[in-house]
């Protein structure tokens, strides 16, 4: 990695660049474009001082990275997590660029975050943190510049605070500055469940391609936040048997299938945040969960959960990546050799940004769609992207990940070549 990229040198960013390099090599991408697309267009680091409830001031580190804007405004989530750093945010922004291009959205990729454990803050502290962070990145965001959205550790309420902070500064309401907002201020129906629903749609297409029967399929899901919980619920609605789920502390396994609506009710009751005391199955660790025999495995937690250390133990037919970067390069090769059909992250979890795009369009039009329209349009876009990627994969004799990356990178490269280099 060159000296000018040392600040970004983290495992997650190295993974994103290595994936890009593999695709660029196979594409014979122009060396000038290759260098340009490795480095984010703009990276912002801010200190975020917050007055805590006890009167002390604590400073948190905040980031916003815009990887590319050749095809339109940049787009990407904001995460609140103790492990947030510049390299991770830059990697996620790069993946967002390829993701938006792959599914045909007029966006570039961005990502942001604050290094904080949000569950340790009071609501008042969280609001002050969010508003200060929003004011610090305010010159760089806007409905035609860069549009944030929820991610790990953030939610519609956080987006509402960002939207309000931005609107107060410009003097009028700007609902299109963020997506994933509450419905009352310009949010979209179907946005909260969009990523999970997209995972289900592409999984069903993969099962049809492989000739697998829904009635006989079993599903294992790592992660039970926004993506994992909605994936589990919608998988069950489509007739698939969800046999295991987990959060960061561990999970539940029931080979006969879990009752997801009842599990959701118990998990969320009274702020319940662990499966250990829910008597609906056997308690298992995340390591054990990833090794369960199943039809579909959905890693929907954090990056690099499947590595060379545990890839040999994975026993699924389809790996649908609900999280960003859950599989390392070494694991990718092992899984491919085992004959596992991988639906890569930039395709599998693109439902969130697709419906974010719908929300952005609705805000601009001041005209809002019905939930059925949103679900139908999401299914149309993401399944079309799946089949384009599948056909490209078969034609090029490439893995689904390589086909998805090459398709996304090519669209971005074409935009750069058409626009040229300024000055």
- List per-block mean pLDDT (blocks of 10 residues) for the chain, which spans 423 residues: 67 94 96 94 97 98 98 98 96 98 98 97 98 98 98 96 98 98 98 97 98 97 95 97 94 96 86 78 95 97 94 98 95 97 98 98 97 98 98 96 98 97 92
Establish whether domains 41-175 and 194-343 are of one fold: yes
Look at the chain and count its residues: 423
Cis peptide before 125, with omega less than 30 degrees from 0? no
Those residues with Cβ within 8 angstroms of residue 386's Cβ, 6 or more apart along the chain or in another chain: 201, 202, 205, 206, 343, 347
One DSSP character per residue, 68-87 reads: --SSSSEEEEEEEETT--HH
**CATH class given for the domain over 41-175:** alpha beta
pLDDT at 93: 98
What is the CATH topology of the domain spanning 194-343? Rossmann fold (3.40.50)
pLDDT at 361: 98
The answer to whether 309 is a known catalytic residue is: no
Marked catalytic residue, from 38, 111, 216, 411: 111
pLDDT at 39: 93
Sketch the domain layout of the chain as residue ranges: 41-175, 194-343
Token pair belonging to 225: 């936040």
């Amino acid at each position: 990695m060159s000296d000018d990229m040392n600040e970004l040198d983290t495992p997650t960013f190295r993974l994103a660049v290595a994936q890009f390099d593999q695709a660029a090599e196979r594409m014979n991408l122009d060396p000038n474009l290759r260098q340009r697309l490795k480095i984010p267009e703009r990276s912002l680091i801010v200190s975020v001082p917050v007055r805590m409830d006890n009167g002390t001031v604590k400073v948190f580190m905040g980031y916003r990275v815009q990887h590319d804007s050749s095809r339109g405004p940049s787009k990407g989530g904001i995460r609140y997590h103790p492990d947030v750093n510049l390299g991770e945010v830059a990697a996620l922004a790069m993946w967002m660029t390829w993701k938006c291009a792959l599914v045909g959205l007029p966006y570039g990729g961005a990502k942001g975050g604050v290094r904080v454990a949000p569950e340790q803050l009071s609501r008042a502290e969280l609001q002050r943190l969010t508003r200060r962070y929003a004011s610090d990145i305010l010159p760089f965001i806007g409905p035609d510049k860069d549009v944030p959205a929820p991610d790990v550790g953030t939610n519609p309420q956080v987006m509402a605070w960002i939207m309000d902070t931005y609107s107060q500064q410009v003097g009028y309401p700007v609902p299109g500055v963020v997506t994933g907002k509450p419905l009352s201020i310009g949010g979209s129906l179907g946005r909260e469940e969009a990523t999970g629903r997209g995972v289900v749609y592409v999984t069903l297409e993969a099962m049809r391609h492989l000739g697998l029967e829904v009635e006989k399929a079993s599903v294992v899901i790592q992660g039970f936040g926004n993506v994992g919980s909605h994936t589990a619920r919608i998988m069950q609605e489509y007739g698939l048997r969800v046999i295991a789920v987990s959060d960061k502390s561990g999970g539940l396994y029931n080979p006969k299938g879990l009752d997801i609506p009842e599990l959701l009710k118990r998990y969320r009751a009274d702020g319940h945040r662990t499966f250990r005391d829910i008597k609906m199955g056997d308690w298992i660790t995340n390591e054990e969960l990833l090794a369960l025999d199943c039809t579909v495995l959905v890693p929907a937690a954090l990056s690099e959960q499947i590595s060379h250390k545990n890839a040999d133990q994975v026993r699924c037919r389809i790996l649908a990546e609900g999280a960003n970067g859950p599989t390392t390069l070494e694991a990718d090769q092992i899984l491919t050799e085992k004959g596992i059909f991988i639906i890569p992250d930039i395709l599998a979890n693109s439902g969130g940004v697709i419906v974010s795009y719908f929300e952005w369009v609705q805000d601009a039009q001041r005209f809002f769609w019905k939930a059925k329209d949103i679900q139908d349009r999401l299914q149309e876009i993401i399944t079309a992207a799946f089949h384009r990627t599948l056909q490209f994969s078969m034609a090029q004799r490439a893995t689904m990940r390589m086909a998805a990356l090459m398709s996304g990178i090519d669209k971005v490269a074409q935009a750069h070549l058409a626009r040229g280099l300024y000055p």
